[in-house]
Structure 1
C-alpha cells in the first residue's frame, strides 16, 4: 500500500499538496509530521480537506513530531510504523522567511533536512525522497541559473538562502550515495492563480502593502533597472500540480526542477500591475541598494511603517534568472504550464484586500 510521509503540513504548499497525493490511488495513505503547536491548525486543515474530498477521509494520520530531532521526535510506536510502512517522503518543512535568524534557520532548514535524510536511510521500502528547495539557492549569481547548478561560488544574501543552499547540498550528497531523490525549486510562491487564496502575505505582497500605505501617487524605490530585473513569481497551484505530475515520472529520479515562470515579469511590470489594481500612480525614486537596505533595517519602525522588510529590497535588483529546461521538457504534453503573471495578478490583490486577517509571519 503506498504510504507517504509528509513534513510541512499544514503549511502553504503542504496543505495543497496533500489532497493531490491522496488522489493518486484510493489506497494511498499519508502520515504528516506536525509540531505540537501546529496540531490544532493541522486538524482544522485536514478536516477541511476531508470535507471537500469525502473519499479521502480517514486516510491521513497526524503524527506529533519535530523534524529537527532524531527520528523526527516521533513516538516509538509511530516511528516503528513509519519505518515499516512509508514508501515515499515529501520534505517541505522549512522556515520560509528572508529575515530568519541564523540559529533558527540552521536548526530547521539544515538540521531538519539532515534528520529527514537519516530517517530515509532506514526506510526499507523507500521509493523516493522529494525535497522542496528554492530557486534562491542561486544567491546573487549573475545570469541564468541552471537546474543542474548548485555550488557556483555565488554569494548568498541571507540565512534563508544559505541554509536552503546547504540543505540541498546534503540532498545532493545523499543522491550521490544512492538515495533515490528528486529536488524541486519553486520561485517566489504566491497565491492560487484561480482564486488568489494564500496563507501568508510575503514576497511580492510586501510590495502591495507598501503601495497600499501610500497616497494616490506612490513613490517606489528604483534599486535596479526595473525593465531588466525579473521577478520569479509562481502561483501555488502550478507548484503543487507540477510536483505531483513530475514526482510520478521515472525520468524525474535524480533530477532538479525549477518551478517558476519561464518568462517572468520585470520589476516594472509587477509594480505597474499592482499599482493599477490598487488605484495608484507610480513615481520611481532612484536609490542605491546597499545604503537603502541598511537605512530601512536600522531605523526603528521603518520596516513596519513601509510594510517592506529590509531583506526584501535586494530582490528588486537581483541579477539572476532561472532556467526551467527540465521542468518544461518533462511536463511537455501534459497541458500543465505556469500561467503568466498578468493572467492572475489581479486575483492576488483582490484576495489581499478582501482578507486582511491573513498575516505575513512564517510558520516555524
Structure 2
C-alpha cells in the first residue's frame, strides 16, 4: 500500500547527512514511513536524489520539507506545519560536525537549533524524542566518562564539543521536565565496517590521508607526550545505526542515555600502527609538542595537504569512555562494536578508491 494515504508520524532532522540517510533506511524498513525530513533549501537537490535512491523515484516514504533548525518554528510555513500534525516521534540528528567550527555557527546550529527542535517537539506533543549527541560532551574530562556523567566542570577542545555539550544539557533539562527522550552519544564515527563507505574525510581520516600522501617506505607522523596513555575511540557507522535503530524501537529506553563507543579502543600509538599496517606504510612517529605540531599542520594545510590542526587535541585526549548502560541494553541482540583492526582495511581501501570525497561539514 502506498504511503501517500498516510500522514507522517516521524520527523527527522539531519537528512541527507551521512548518519541521517542510513538511519532513515532502517526506519522505513521497520514500517515507520512515511517520514518527514526537514531539509535546508541548499541541500534540497541532494536530498531529492538521496530520497529517490532510498525510497525509489516514485516512493512516498520520504517527504521533504524545506526549513532550518536555526529559525523559530524550524523555518516551516503554516502549510507545512499543518502537514506534520500527526508526528509523534522526532529524531534530531542535525548538527555541525566540524572540529574547527567557529563559535557563532556552532551556537546557532548546535545550541539554538536544538532548542528550536525541542520547542517543536513540545508543540507537536511527541511521544518520543530521539537525540543524537556525542561522547565528546565530555570535553577533556580526566578519567572514565560514562552515561551518568555530563556536567563535570570540564574544559573543551573546541567549539564543536562545547556546543554539543550545551545542547545535551538542554535536552536533559527537558527530560527532567517530562519529555520522553532518549540520548545517543556516538564516539568518533568512521565509515561502514563492511564497505568502508563514508560521507566525508574528517577526524581520523586526516591522519590516514596524511600517511597515504607520503612515500610508503617512509611516512612520518607526530607523537605527543602522553599519547601512549590516550585512547582514540572510533566506531563504524553501521554499529551506530544498528544501535540507534534497535534502541529507539523499545519503550524501556525512554529517559536513558547510551554511549555508542568502543569498549576496548586502541591507544593512539596502536591506532596509528593499525592504519599504517592496513596502508602498507612504514611510519615513524617523531616526538613533538602540541603547539609545534599544530603549526606544522597549519603549514601543511596551506600547502594543500590533508591536515587539520584541531585533530591534534585528540592525540593526547585524557578521557576514557565506558558504556555500561549500552552494553546492558544491547546484551543478547548481536549488536556489538567491532574492533578497529577488523575493519581498518575496508576504511583504507575506500579512501584509496574515492580520493575526491571532501572534508566539509553540512551546515
Distance 2:249 2:227 in 1: 39
Query: 1:159 — aligned with what?
Result: 159
Deviation at 1:28, TM superposition (A): 2.9
> What are the residue-to-residue correspondences of 1:36-51 with 2, within 5 Å?
36-51=41-56
Q: Deviations over 1:123-170 (max 9, x none)?
A: 13x111111111111111111101121010110111100100000010
Moved more, 264-273 or 236-245: 264-273
Runs of 5+ unmatched residues, structure 2: 1-5
Deviation at 1:302, TM superposition (A): 4.1
For residue 85 of structure 1, give the secondary structure of its aligned residue in structure 2: coil
Q: Deviations over 1:64-117 (max 9, x none)?
A: 1101101100121111221x1101000000000000011110000001101001
Query: 2:3 — aligned with what?
Result: none
Q: Deviations over 1:230-284 (max 9, x none)?
A: 1110000110110011111222111111111111112122211211222211111
Query: 2:171 — aligned with what?
Result: 171
1:289/1:317 contact within 8 Å kept: no
Q: Deviations over 1:173-194 (max 9, x none)?
A: 1111111111100000000000
> What are the residue-to-residue correspondences of 1:105-184 with 2, within 5 Å?
105-124=106-125, 126-184=126-184
Deviation at 1:292, TM superposition (A): 2.6
Figure out how many residues of one structure are paired with residues of the other and give that number: 356
For residue 49 of structure 2, give the secondary structure of its aligned residue in structure 1: helix
Structure 1 length normalisation: TM-score? Answer: 0.94
> What are the residue-to-residue correspondences of 1:340-351 with 2, within 5 Å?
340-351=339-350
Structure 2 length normalisation: TM-score? Answer: 0.94
Query: 1:250 — aligned with what?
Result: 251
For residue 230 of structure 2, give the secondary structure of its aligned residue in structure 1: coil
Distance 1:282 1:106 in 2: 39
Deviation at 1:300, TM superposition (A): 4.9
Distance 1:339 1:196 in 2: 13
Distance 1:164 1:92 in 2: 11
Q: Deviations over 1:15-69 (max 9, x none)?
A: 00001111222x6320000000001000111111124xx9x92121000110110
Runs of 5+ unmatched residues, structure 1: none
> What are the residue-to-residue correspondences of 1:257-276 with 2, within 5 Å?
257-276=258-277
For residue 280 of structure 1, give the secondary structure of its aligned residue in structure 2: coil
2:9/2:89 contact within 8 Å kept: yes
Distance 2:250 2:55 in 1: 27
- List, as ranges, runs of 4+ consecutive aligned residues in structure 1 with deviation greater than 2 Å: 224-228, 290-293, 299-306
Distance 2:238 2:164 in 1: 22
